[in-house]
Every structure is written in structure tokens, then in C-alpha cells.
Amino acid sequence: MKVGIVNAGNIGRNLATSWIRHGHDIMLSKDTSPEKLRTRIQELGSSKGLIETEFTKFKYGSLVEAANFGDVVVFSVYFPRLDHVIKELQGAGVTLSGKIVIDTMNPLNVDENFNHYHDIEYMQRTSTAEEVQKAFPEAIVFKAFNTFGATLLDASKWTLGRVPPVLFNGGNSDSTDTARKLIEDAGFRPRFAGHNLKDAGLLERLGILSHRLAENEFEGDANIAFDILQSKA
């Protein structure tokens, strides 16, 4: 399928280099320093074993071009830049009408010392997925790929058969299988939490819990993810 990645940072690049192997048609874009994107894709893809013919399949464009290109649009914008990017797309006439939009973001703000922190006030009143839906009311918005670290979105870093689940919610009944397929093609197990996009905030709050666990149980090691087990009983 055609996938446009609006801001291919760590999350977007990891997903793109996994999806290209499954035949998806991908356009990458970058909000800041777009001239470095090809080099970063080359470096990451090489570490994951991509071959030259796979690299040549990637397309590159502006944020607007990526949003217009994809039947599926991945929103992976740096949170402090989210309002700016939304206004840029709207100003260019982007509506995302009928498109599946996958929001991978968490409300991580940055202070004057460039330390990141969860914007609790924002999270108490809304979620990034809800704000994307408000900005593009005709889009079909999902929340996914936000519950563990971006660098861990490489399935090869996990023990075979023990990759963590990717929790997702939102969308509608006609689009759920598409979101599920993209999660599987990234190498992970999809676990669906329902169509109510207001619940996207629950997925974002798992980020806070994950950080607390990393700090207090794992001596600051953030290479952790939640699992979901189903009893045979």
C-alpha cells in the first residue's frame, strides 16, 4: 500500500525500513533537516540488512507531499512541532479525507535545558490522536506504535517469538485490518483496544508508567516494553 510518513524520525525510519521489505510504496519526509534523511535511512537500512534495490524504492518529499501521497499517512511529528506541522498541512489544503492516519506520537515536551518531560496538563485534557482528528475531521485516525521506545521498533532486537505487542485503537471497522497488517509487517503483534479515539490517551499514559518502571526497577534502562498474556484457563 502507499504510505506517506509525515516526519520520518526514529519511529518513522524504523517502520519504513521494515515496511519496504513487504512491498509497501513509501514516501518519507522530514520536518527539520530533510537533507539528512537519505543518509539516515541508508545507515539504518544497512544495519537492518536492506539491499540496494530496496533503498531505491524509497521516495522522498515534503511533509505536504508525503501527506498527499499516502493512502495511509503516519503522523510521527516531534510533539513541540505538532501545531506547526498541522498548520503547514492545512495551509497547503491537505484534508487527509478518507485516509487512514496512524498517530505514533506522545506528548513529550522539552524544557529550557532541552530535557524532555510528559506534558501532564495536555494529557489531562486531550491526546495527540484527538487533536489530529480535530484538525482533519475526515481522516480515519488510529493510535499505534507509541508504547515503547522508538529504537525498539526493530523486531530483530527482540527474542524470536517474543516481540512485544503493539497496542492500537481508533479508526473504524473498515480500516482496522489495514492497521493490523501494518503492525504485523513491522514485525510485531497487534492488539486492538477499540474504536473510541478518546482512549488514545490511555496508550499515551503508558509512556509515563514505562518511564517510572525504567527509573525505579530497571536502573534507568528504557529498553522495556509491556506484554499481554492470555491464560488458557
Encode pLDDT of 58-103 as tens digits: 999 999 999 999 999 999 999 999 999 999 999 999 999 999 999 9
Average pLDDT over residues 114-126: 92
Beta-carbon contacts of 227 under 8 Å, excluding residues fewer than 6 positions away, are 164, 165
> What does the pLDDT read at residue 159?
82
Crossing angle for the helix pair 176-185 and 10-19, to the nearest 10 degrees: 90
Is the pLDDT at 157 greater than 90, yes or no?
no
Encode pLDDT of 42-62 as tens digits: 999 999 999 999 999 999 999
Is the pLDDT at 161 greater than 90, yes or no?
no
Quick one: cell of 36?
539528512
Encode pLDDT of 14-26 as tens digits: 999 999 999 999 9
> What does the pLDDT read at residue 80?
94
Q: Is the pTM of this model over 0.85?
A: yes
Encode pLDDT of 194-203 as tens digits: 999 999 999 9
Is the pLDDT at 233 greater than 80, yes or no?
no
Burial class (CB in 10 A: 0-12, 13-18, 19+), 144: buried
Average pLDDT over residues 157-170: 90
How far is 233 from 34, CA to CA, in rounded Å? 52
Domains contained in the chain, CATH given: 2-216 (3.40.50.720)
> What does the pLDDT read at residue 205?
96
